[in-house]
Amino acid sequence: MKKPLFKGVGTAIVTPFDKDFNIDYKVFGEHIEFLIANDVDAIIVCGTTGEAATLSYEERFNAVKFAVDKVAGRVPVLGGGGSNSTYNTIKLSQDVQKAGADGILAVTPYYNKTTQKGLVEHYKALADSVDIPILAYNVPSRTSLNIEPDTLVKIAQIDKIVGIKESSHDFVQAANMAHLLKDTGFAIYAGNDQEVLPMLSLGAVGCISVMGNVDPKTMHNICKAYENKDTDTARELQLKAMPLINALFYELNPLPVKHILNLMGFAVGTGRPPLTTLEDENIDYITKAAKDYGLI
């Protein structure tokens, strides 16, 4: 029986940049303290929202190590270790382990992709190379590659692969995954904020969240209410959050969430190129959503 790395909300934390696009560790530390003070259950560093694809190997190692040291065991810290090369995924994930993280989030290979058989071999090679738990990350909209339910069953049998961040937007697939892996302890996490409650109803143990950057308490409370069988409260919180969630994905993630964090007083900067600032016509909509929700 496998055990989840965490239950509840794991925030996919942004990477703050200064005006020269260097990581701003002062702001990073302030944001981490805000998350912990507001009931975050885990912090995921150098994921998609953290713009890992634009960070060097050294920056990724340093960001994960900084988070591990700052958090100091108060909640689990996971580091992004995925790439489109199995060799590079192993190197990045070994760095995540060396930095002291509690686990690894490893996205499926992208661009060159692979077959379903190749996915199993990819995750097996990764698991053989590290000593800490791994979450697979399925996000076909970004990778053009989907982990099929039958494939996930094979991946789940690999030692050290303890769960998945499921971001396919496919509830039939998620239901089949949950059915096939029932009673194994393999953890499914909702990967899309607008789908947290539906995914919990299918057996997810929590979420890995963008909204968790600005309001982890609500995401924590949705998960906790559902765990306590208070589905009315969980539904009320999910529906109340929908206008903000829509704003967070109104333009390419993480640009909206960085904009809102800046308005909240966390000087996280903009996206690192090729990402840039928000389109002018979207700023008012996103700002109003944050204001209406009470964040600013």
| 124 tagged catalytic | no
With beta carbons less than 8 A apart as the criterion, state whether 134 and 127 touch. yes
Of residues 65, 123, 137, 224, which has the active-site annotation? 137
> Distance between CA 96 and CA 78 in Å, rounded?
8
SS3 (DSSP) at 262? helix
> Distance between CA 238 and CA 258 in Å, rounded?
21
> Distance between CA 225 and CA 242 in Å, rounded?
17
DSSP 106: E
| 137 tagged catalytic | yes
* Residue 251, amino acid: E
In 3D, which of 104, 91, 14 has the Cα closest to residue 56? 91
Of residues 165, 189, 224, 293, which has the active-site annotation? 165
With beta carbons less than 8 A apart as the criterion, state whether 22 and 221 touch. no
Beta-strand runs (E) in the chain? 8-12, 42-45, 77-80, 103-107, 134-138, 161-166, 187-190, 206-209
Q: Which residues are catalytic?
A: 137, 165
